[in-house]
Structure 1
Amino acid sequence: MSSRSVPDAPAHTPSDTHTAPEAGTRTATGTGAPGTPDPAAFAAEWEDWHRTKDARLASEHGFLAITGLHWLSEEPQRFPGVPGAWSTGPDGVTVALDEGTELVVDGAAVRGRYGFGVIPEREGVDAVWGDTVIEVARRGGHDVVRPRHPDHPLRVDFAGTPAYTPDPRWVVTGRYEAFAEPRPTTVGASVEGLRHVYDAPGRVVFRLDGRELSLTAFNGHTPGTFTVLFTDATSGVTTYAANRNLRVEAPGPDGEVVLDFNRATNLPCAYTDFATCPLPPAENRLPLAIEAGEKIPHERRPVTP
């Protein structure tokens, strides 16, 4: 059982942990510090964060560059935009390259038949082919190949992610409650029939609009941080229906945490069908509207005739 962080979620830049005020109160800034916010500074900090987040998503070989999600089997298969014939088995993923074709793996050129070995769940290896990066990964117990082409129209035409106007009232403090033992938690995925299993180390409890609420937390990309997947009353209306993602910094000594819903983001499945993003645990469906954070991407909105 793995306690790795959530897959198909863009990495975040870690920031300093700040001391939060009394649990359940709303704070003035994105850092959880008390006092009257400076609206201009608050908005500028959020804009800088959001610009950086979108730039990472649309980087040369980011998620918007993926052109296919190919599931491997024991039978060798060829895929568009990928050289060679690919298969998997007890010894892991193998590619048989055509004569004169080479990939670069871990800085070394490989030719002919090459074995990537057994790839651990939620991990992957990148193989470079010209200006294309071929991700070889394992998701939900299956080996996959995902080519990333920098000239993919989804990436080239990306104009940024729409979002609610940042508002300090959506910065909430709460407390982290660790479970006696991490709880294996099975969730669905954006790919039908796929399942992900995580060890949930605890939950975050907070108050919002007079209600006490809680969210099961998974481990984040940085040790000590958490990833919270949730939906709410905006899901499928103004925000992406399947899931919303919120990073929570490591708790303070007394267990206090800050939830800045202005920084609730879309996972890659909100933009592309070539992602295997997990869905939130059933208990993470909030019964109120969190009108903060990212909205449904332009790429997923219906086309008006």
Structure 2
Amino acid sequence: MEKMTPADISTVDAAAALEGWHRARAAYVTGAHGPLSLVFTHWGQAGEEPVAEDVARADWPAHVIFSRLQRDNIDTGELEHGYRIWDTQSPAQQAFQGIGSYGFNPEWIIDAEFEYVDESRFMPFEHLRDSGATRGLPVSGDIVFTLNGVEHRLAAFDAGDKLQLVFADATSRTDTYASGRFLFIPRPDVSADQTPGTRFPVTLDFNHAVVPPCGFSNQMNCPLPPASNRFTEAITAGEKKVIWTEGFSL
């Protein structure tokens, strides 16, 4: 038996860590507030009072979970109130067989840079269920890297302490989820007085690319990849599609 090199050991450790990450993902999507449990989303009109919980629950079994949410109206910016119903016994939960994925691929761990632009910059993102309309999301910088001699400048919006990259590639609509996938990247610690144009190193590990929530529930409304985030290459890393029992579809 040949002795393993440090590079071999590193690859084995990374692959094992990725398996643990996949198990955690499965636990999340099947959880009480995981996307497989989401069976209903309701949005009221701008200016309307929130729906009372007992009214919202009236047509659902007693075991379901109720939660509230809110957003700005896509046209006027006025506040809209909504709610969701979650059911761990949903048809999607019962039909779920797992998430298909690629094996660990070190070629898709890419060194990149986050180029700070402006904390107040918002960019339009089309969403799956908004019939072509766009919602402005905070994009305080661009992710820049070179792949096969071509420079890419990606729009990743700010999501707390993460940057959320919505992308599509040559595997979309064939091997992977048709509307694209998500990748979450630790957001660099940018000070309030940082000069626009300053770059910070980031790592894009596409082994952690995920099927978006709308791949698990038709009650989710996910952002779609903008033109800058559509790759001609096949990114053969990360999650592929949800695996359902035969005959089931959302």
CA distance in 1, matches of 2:223, 2:31: 22
Partner of 2:140: 201
Q: Name 2:195's counterpart in structure 1.
A: none
2:168–2:231 contact (8 Å) kept in structure 1 = yes
| Unmatched segments (≥5 aa) in structure 2 | 1-5, 74-79, 191-198
> Deviation per CA, 1:76-119, whole angstroms, max 9, x where unpaired?
xxxxxxxxxxxxx6363132747xx999xxxxxxxxxxxxxxxx
Alignment partners' CA distance in 2, 1:204 and 1:37 = 30
Identity across the alignment (%) = 29
The match for 2:227 is 282
The aligned counterpart of 1:168 is: 106
CA-atom RMSD in angstroms: 2.9
Which residue of 2 is the match for residue 94 of structure 1?
A: 51
Q: CA deviation at 1:47?
A: 0.6
- What amino acid sits opposite 1:57 in the alignment? V
What is the letter of the counterpart of residue 208 of structure 2? R
Go from structure 1 to structure 2 and tell me whether the alpha carbon gap of 1:56 and 1:93 turns closer, same or farther (over 3 Å shift). same
Letter paired with 1:131: H
Match of 2:194 in 1: none
Please state whether the residue corresponding to 2:117 is helix, strand or coil: strand
Q: Distance in 1 between matches of 2:62 and 2:158?
A: 35
CA distance in 2, matches of 1:298, 1:269: 14
Q: Distance in 2 between matches of 1:144 and 1:188?
A: 20
TM-score normalized by the length of structure 2: 0.79
Partners of 2:220 and 2:87 in 1: how far apart?
15
User: Structure 2 CA distance, aligned partners of 1:149 and 1:272?
Assistant: 12
Question: Within 5 Å, which residues of 2 pair with 1:83-162?
Answer: 90=47, 92-95=49-52, 97=54, 130-139=62-71, 141=73, 142-162=80-100
Q: 1:298 to 1:139 in 2, by over 3 A?
A: farther
Give SS of 2:96's match: coil
| 44-53 or 290-299, larger mean C-alpha shift | 290-299
Find the aligned partners of 1:201 and 1:275 in 2 and give their Cα distance: 25
Task: Tell me if the contact between 1:182 and 1:201 (Cα under 8 Å) persists in the aligned partners.
Answer: yes
Alignment of 1:121-270 (within 5 A): 130-139=62-71, 141=73, 142-180=80-118, 182-193=120-131, 195-221=134-160, 223=161, 225-251=162-188, 255-270=200-215
Equivalents in 2 of 1:155, 1:245: separation in Å? 21
TM-score by length of 1: 0.66
The residue aligned with 2:7 is 36
Q: 16, 23, 27: which one pairs with 1:51?
A: 23
SS at match of 1:161: strand
SS at match of 1:160: strand
Query: Is the Cα–Cα contact under 8 Å of residues 39 and 86 in structure 2 kept in the other structure?
Result: yes
Q: CA deviation at 1:280?
A: 2.0
Spell out structure 1 runs of 4+ moving beyond 6 A: 300-303
Native 8 Å contact 1:173 1:256 kept in 2: yes
Is residue 105–residue 236 contact of structure 2 (8 Å, CA) maintained in 1?
no
Give aligned pairs, total.
226
Offset from partner CA, 1:250-290 (integer Å, 9 cap, x none): 33896111000011111111122110111122221122111
